A and B are shown apart, each in its own frame.
Chain A
Amino acid sequence: MYDIEINDVSVNYGPICALQNINLKVKSKEFLGIIGPNGGGKTTLIKALLGLLKPTIGSISIKGNHTIGYVPQFTFFDRNFPINVLDVILMGRLPKKISLFHRYSAKDKKRAEEIMDKLGILEFKNRQIGQLSGGQLQKVLIGRALITDPKILILDEPTASLDTKTKKEIYEILKMLNEDKTILIVSHDIEELFSYIDSVTYINKKLHYHKNDSSLNHEDIKKSCGYSVKLFREKEIQNDRIII
């Protein structure tokens, strides 16, 4: 069955059309890569999935109202903000309904520590986020999404400006999480991503390519796009109307 069904969704910002007639179905436990040029509507699609914005037309349904774990781009954060790792992760445990004098329970803290241990960041528990490396902060944000017990995980450029070794670490973590979670990942690191994902979708206002095939590889993309993945990004920037 499908975890996410996007039916004929269009999103307009005033007169500007950001997404047009998107149809996309994501299977349970699928690992989907979302690629496309900057300004092509990837972030808009994510925001629509998270309920941060309403589609102008069309509908999005999430199976059984699963919670979605959201991992935003770590580069957007103010690293000087006075908050430590544990408090960032516990954020995921805040009750929806505002409760006066709320305190995190011992159970919440234990769960946070388990997750930190699993991600290998337990030793940084009390560190302020400015004293972490990019990769460590990314893991903290993944941890914060995980503590909400999501069935679906959405990540926005989780490996942007990370070195190759750290990128690989993050992908390995995601592969492990993929065992029982559906994962959607927006990325520019197409090549490195390919050995991990099940399917890929190319978004530039419209949905251009989507394949649910476990045998997906470079060659497939090459065949259907007409050029190698390496050139993918450069090409799409030069000519944003590739017909695939």
Chain B
Amino acid sequence: MIESLFRYSFLQNAFMAAFLASIVCGIIGTIIVEKRLVSMSGGIAHASFGGIGLGYLLGIEPIIGGLVFSILASLGISTIKRKTNTNSDTLIGMFWAVGMALGILFISLTPGYPPDMTSYLFGDILTVSSIYIKMMAILSIIIIFFIMSIFNYWRAYLFDEEFTKVIGVNVLVFEYILFILIALTIVILIKVVGIILSIALLTIPPAIAKLFTYNLKKMMIVSSLLGVVFSISGLFISYQYNIPSGSTIILLSVIGYFVVGSSSKLFNKIKLYNVKKELI
């Protein structure tokens, strides 16, 4: 396996893709979980499918179409929510389904033999091209820069948006930046785990990280590292046994969550038992 990693460039690309996706997921995933934007992110991810379909129809790079659609969907949801009184859950549901519907429609209108969409829906990390890696790297740098350069503001915005507004900070800017960053993250994830599975890679590592730390920055770092472990080992397993990479990575993460979650519960119980024994 290690040998083939040096030999085949497609494996090197896959390795890089898994690495970049994990770092970004750890950072943005932590924010999504803490700001309760999980279903919002699911909506944005599915809306991007419309753009991928349009990309095929117009003959442009499908992922660019996906990027445009996911940004428009995230801005659309927040703007409509603010202008009307519609529940954001309802809006997310609409964008979610409309994105998928448009995608299917555009693909059926595309002349010629219909393209295989499973790699977008469920990811196919072994087919990532080097141009896509470059795009991923640029998007990752943008995301990391926007989070780290104004980290104190993010912490305040996530913890108490109202107070942040009262002290005079323009929180609307943060909302827009955050939604765009989520859209960029989704695009990075499409090739790695796919539209449908992306939400799991965003939420599972932060959920595990929260068992260990109560510090926002550390939570992001631990989530990123966990993501790297899951996606790289998932990649190797899927390559070795010739099974789908996206599913392998997600299932590995979920197994990781249950193992770590239940062992930390057990550990706490043992600790409690020892404390009780000392008291008696």
Contact = CB atoms under 8 A, between A and B. Distances in A.
Interface of A: 14, 50-52, 68, 70, 72, 77-78, 80-84, 87-88, 90-92, 94, 96, 98, 100-104, 128, 130, 144, 148
A96 B216 contact: no
Contacts of A100: 149-150
Main secondary structure of the interface of B (DSSP, over half): helix
A92 B164 CA distance: 8
25 contacts: A14-B85, A52-B165, A70-B162, A72-B160, A72-B162, A81-B34, A82-B210, A82-B216, A82-B218, A83-B159, A83-B216, A87-B155, A88-B159, A90-B152, A91-B155, A92-B167, A94-B167, A94-B169, A96-B168, A98-B173, A100-B149, A100-B150, A128-B214, A144-B163, A148-B167
A144 B148 CA distance: 23
B162 A52 contact: yes
Interface of B: 34, 85, 148-150, 152-153, 155-156, 158-160, 162-170, 173, 210, 213-216, 218-219
B212 to A, nearest CB: 11
Nearest to A67: B167
A137 B59 CA distance: 57
Given A81-B34, A96-B168, A70 B152 contact: no
- Residue in B159, B163, B215, B219 whose Cβ sees the most chain A Cβ within 10 Å: B163
Main secondary structure of the interface of A (DSSP, over half): loop
B152 A102 contact: yes
A82 B212 CA distance: 11
Given A83-B216, A91-B155, A94-B169, 6 more contacts: A90-B152, A91-B160, A94-B167, A98-B173, A101-B149, A102-B153
A75 to B, nearest CB: 13
B198 to A, nearest CB: 23
Contacts of A101: 148-150
B214 A91 contact: no
A94 B153 contact: yes
A94 B213 contact: no
B164 A82 contact: no
Contacts of A78: 34
Given A100-B149, A101-B149, A104-B152, A81 B158 contact: yes
